[in-house]
């Protein structure tokens, strides 16, 4: 397996790669084109996993950016779109191999940046899948909202700042800053993917989305923030 990194948005004009990604994720979405366009515009770095025959097996997109929070610069990373072929998603061994190396490359880079700058990074993004939330819970710390839906005062302030940055206004009657209603109405999952998500929720007794009223069929997403685990002598 080969891991490839494409930086500085150099992938944006690569029509062949766009097609590869669209074909890879097609079974999981009704139509991935709008999501693909948004993520290609927002993200500046892409990590690709290819098998020995150069076939695309998985991808992960990020944006290294600086937020301005309470008048101060806040180094951040947008955790963008990720996807994999059916074999890598359903086979435990393949999933650990491809995702382990793909995300491991990114996590090592993030840790190196924190060490070099002495500043902790804020990681943020959106999700509507229990698999995505569980992956964040395994790899990061200070994940908000927490499994029970609660969040810290600062976490809520950051979420509201991100909502404003995304152009997502608070709607009347909405009280949870991490719940984004209708922001992805043009990126609905396929029926097969919906059924897979429902099965995971039932198997894992995962009810966070239901508790918060995040309904994928309505284009809802859960906003999240998290951090890398700290080590002695690491970033602060």
pTM: 0.91
- Beta carbons of 9 and 55 less than 8 angstroms apart: no
Q: What is the pLDDT of residue 60?
A: 94
Tell which residue, 45, 77, 75, 73, has the closest CA to residue 64: 77
Q: What is the pLDDT of residue 125?
A: 98
Q: What is the pLDDT of residue 93?
A: 46
Q: How far, CA to CA in Å, does 9 sit from each of 5, 38, 100, 101? A: 11, 13, 23, 21
Longest CA–CA span in the chain (Å) reads 52
Average pLDDT, the chain: 90
Return the minimum-mean-pLDDT range out of 13-22, 38-47, 183-192, 226-235.
Answer: 226-235
pLDDT digits (tens, 9 = 90+) for 20-59: 999 999 999 999 999 999 999 999 999 999 988 999 999 9
CATH class of 2-227: alpha beta
Domain locations in the chain? 2-227
- Beta carbons of 201 and 83 less than 8 angstroms apart: no
Supply the DSSP string of 159-219, one letter for each residue: HHHHHHHHT-PPPTT---TTEE-STTTTSPBPHHHHHHHHHHHHHHT--HHHHHT--GGGT
Q: Say if residue 172's pLDDT is above 60.
A: no
Burial class from Cβ neighbours inside 10 Å (0-12, 13-18, 19+) for residue 61 reads buried
Q: Say if residue 102's pLDDT is above 80.
A: yes
Q: Say if residue 171's pLDDT is above 80.
A: no
């Amino acid at each position: 397996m080969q891991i490839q990194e494409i930086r500085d948005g150099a992938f944006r004009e690569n029509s062949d790669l766009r097609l590869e990604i669209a074909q890879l994720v097609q079974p999981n979405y009704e139509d991935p084109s709008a999501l693909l366009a948004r993520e290609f515009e927002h993200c500046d770095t892409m990590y690709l996993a290819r098998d020995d025959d150069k076939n695309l097996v998985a991808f992960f997109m990020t944006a290294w950016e600086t937020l301005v929070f309470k008048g101060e610069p806040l180094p951040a990373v947008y955790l963008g779109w990720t996807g994999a072929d059916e074999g890598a998603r359903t086979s435990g061994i393949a999933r650990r191999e491809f995702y382990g190396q793909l995300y491991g490359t990114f996590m090592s880079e993030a840790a190196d940046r924190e060490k070099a700058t002495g500043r902790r990074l804020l990681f943020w993004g959106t999700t509507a899948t229990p698999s995505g939330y569980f992956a964040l819970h395994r790899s990061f710390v200070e994940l908000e909202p927490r499994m029970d839906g609660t969040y810290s005062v600062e976490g809520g302030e950051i979420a509201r700042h991100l909502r404003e940055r995304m152009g997502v206004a608070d709607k009347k009657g909405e009280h949870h800053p991490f719940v984004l209603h209708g922001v992805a109405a043009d990126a609905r999952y396929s029926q097969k993917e919906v059924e897979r998500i429902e099965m995971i929720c039932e198997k894992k007794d995962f009810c966070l989305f239901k508790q918060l009223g995040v309904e994928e069929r309505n284009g809802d997403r859960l906003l999240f923030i998290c951090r890398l685990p700290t080590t002695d002598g690491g970033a602060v």
